Amino acid sequence: MDIFNEWPITTTLLLSIFSILVYNILRSNMPSKAKLPPSPPKLPILGNLHQLLGKPRHEALWQLSKQYGPIMQIHIGSKHFLIISSPAMAKQIMKTQDHIFCSRTYLKASEQLTYNFKDIAFSPHSAHWREMRKILVSEFLGPKRAKLSKRVLVTETESMIRALSLHPPNTEVNLSSMLFEIVKQMVCKVAFGTNYRQQPLKGPSLDAMIDEANELLNGSIGDSFPYIGFLIDQFSGWNRRLDDGFRNLDAYIDTIINDHLKDNLEEISEEDKDFVHTLLDMSKENASGYRLTNADLKALVMDVLTGGIDSTVLTLTWLMSEIMKNPRVMQKLQSEIRNCARGIQSVQDMNTTKMTYLKMVVKESLRLHTPAPYLIPHVSLSHTQVSGYDVFPSTIVLINAWGIARDPSVWGENAAEFYPERFENHDGDIGWDRFDMLPFGGGRRSCPAKNTAPANVEFVIANLLYWFDWGPPSGMKSEDLNMENKGIPVLKRKVPLRLVPTKHN
């Protein structure tokens, strides 16, 4: 649920009375000499909520920023938001003052779904967060797991290519669901082992549970309105939804862990251990280094499920959509891939190292289709100044990565166009030095998979385009492909991507 878009009238009235109180308390606590960032006029009751209704949050904020500038403040209920809308301001937040803006906000859903903030993505900045992040990087994403990850990537890509080869000629496939399946298999097999339990014993599918968790983690209406927030969420049914969502995922994670507890860890070679085996090792009495609790272990698994799948699927799906819509790019990319990989006999022989145009296409797709439009909100730890404006502790910072990446004043007149060649003269890594595109966020809270995820995307795309030619469904022209998105929390396609594969000789 998006608190800005689903806003029943009755709830609005309830909030009105309460918010006058909160507003007056906040006003009286604000130091009188503070120089605050520009802010659109707000209602004493709901703050700026009314200005954000009716369109996706990132788009509404982008429009307001055109009027109020690249650093702007808004209020929703009791919460203060700092809205950042330029590379220079993003650099202030995620580089110059990264040590101040590196925490996360409290949300009821993140508290419950992360076993009381024992995870990485939603945990406040702390020694615990640092340890958990270190574990994910070294035990799931790092070189130790690289061999298994590569093996699984190859096996899963092979089985997708095989399935496509068996597909009846001239008929469309649902590429969205195929790509979801392959990424889910990759992530789950590295995390839970090659025999992982694909579906829970009962209840909703894993796919449905992940979708639901990601929506819940976007927050509720009650999160912005303390004291009466609980009542609102109770009456709207949101609390029950959260309880159900948590109970289902928790039961699934329990099943995975119980399956692993039956294995004798001593008998499994280091190379054959999956992520959960390693975490169980780290939770033993005699564990060297950080000793994990049961909640830490489950929270890490939760992060892998909610953070590791959707963003990669989304990147693959938008990339295929964009090149389908741009036959010039598709042709150029396909000829690079077929030249570089000429004569390979199998999926595993694909080597993307020299495919420079492919790398540009991946970057361009990540620019136009930044999966998390304003990242995971950052939060300030202490009072500071940004661009001469005072920012107080616990301010929630929304960095409008979606807007920055499409801004003509940053990317030129053709900012809205899918034009990978723009990266021929673009030095610096993706969103790292220049802060003009932020698909992986930035600073110490940036995505820990930012170095590994693009290579996986390149490998899958190179194989899809090497072994097959692609066309739109019959009766449709490439340029008519629907490119609408479903809205936050991550910008998924509104309708599944259906294309027609033709085996290439």
Tell me the window of 165-173, 218-226, 253-261, 440-448 that interacts with ligand HEM (CB under 6 A). 440-448
Instruction: Determine which residue in the list 214, 239, 311, 326 makes contact with ligand HEM, applying CB under 6 A.
Output: 311
For the segment 68-127, give every residue that binds ligand HEM (CB under 6 A): 120-121
375 belongs to the binding site for ligand HEM (CB under 6 A): yes
Smallest separation (angstroms) from ligand HEM to the CB of 495: 21
Q: Are 155 and 479 in contact (CB under 8 A)?
A: no
Instruction: Determine which residue in the list 159, 446, 478, 482 makes contact with ligand HEM, applying CB under 6 A.
Output: 446
The two three-digit tokens of residue 331, written as one number: 């042709």
Q: Please report, to the nearest 10 degrees, the dihedral formed by the alpha carbons of residues 434, 437, 441, 443 taken in order.
A: 0
315 belongs to the binding site for ligand HEM (CB under 6 A): yes
Q: Please report, to the nearest 10 degrees, the dihedral formed by the alpha carbons of residues 135, 139, 140, 142 taken in order.
A: 100
Smallest separation (angstroms) from ligand HEM to the CB of 128: 12
395 belongs to the binding site for ligand HEM (CB under 6 A): no
The two three-digit tokens of residue 172, written as one number: 């469309």
Is the alpha carbon torsion for 338, 343, 347, 350 positive or negative? negative
Within 327-372, residue ranges assigned H as helices are: 327-340, 356-368
The residues, ordered by sequence, that sit 6+ positions from 302 with a Cβ below 8 Å of its Cβ are 113, 114, 115, 119, 213, 249, 253
403 belongs to the binding site for ligand HEM (CB under 6 A): no
Smallest separation (angstroms) from ligand HEM to the CB of 397: 10
The residues, ordered by sequence, that sit 6+ positions from 204 with a Cβ below 8 Å of its Cβ are 212, 248
Residue 188 annotated as lining a ligand binding site: no
Point out the residue whose Cβ comes nearest to ligand HEM.
441
Q: Of 184 and 445, which CB lies nearer to ligand HEM in the complex structure?
A: 445
Instruction: Determine which residue in the list 371, 373, 403, 420 makes contact with ligand HEM, applying CB under 6 A.
Output: 371
Distance CA 101, CA 92 (A): 9
Distance CA 115, CA 126 (A): 16
373 belongs to the binding site for ligand HEM (CB under 6 A): no
Q: Of 110 and 236, which CB lies nearer to ligand HEM in the complex structure?
A: 110
Q: Of 298, 303, 317, give the one whose Cα is nearest residue 183.
A: 317
Q: Of 80 and 367, which CB lies nearer to ligand HEM in the complex structure?
A: 367
440 belongs to the binding site for ligand HEM (CB under 6 A): yes
Distance CA 141, CA 307 (A): 13
Interface with ligand HEM (CB under 6 A), residue total 25
Instruction: Determine which residue in the list 14, 231, 376, 410 makes contact with ligand HEM, applying CB under 6 A.
Output: 376
Distance CA 287, CA 297 (A): 14
Is the bond into 473 cis (omega within 30 degrees of 0)?
Answer: no
Q: Are 502 and 17 in contact (CB under 8 A)?
A: no
Binding mask 449-478 for ligand HEM (x = CB under 6 A): x---x-------------------------
37 belongs to the binding site for ligand HEM (CB under 6 A): no
Sheet holding 79-84, edge to edge: 71-76, 79-84, 396-399, 378-379
Instruction: Determine which residue in the list 181, 211, 296, 303 makes contact with ligand HEM, applying CB under 6 A.
Output: 303
312 belongs to the binding site for ligand HEM (CB under 6 A): yes
Phi and psi angles of residue 384, each rounded to the nearest 5 degrees, phi first: -155, 180
4 belongs to the binding site for ligand HEM (CB under 6 A): no
For the segment 143-202, give every residue that binds ligand HEM (CB under 6 A): none
* Annotated binding-site ranges: 447
Q: Annotated binding site for heme: which residue ranges?
A: 447
Give the footprint of ligand HEM on this chain (CB under 6 A): 120-121, 133, 136, 303-304, 307-308, 311-312, 315, 371-372, 375-376, 439-442, 445-449, 453
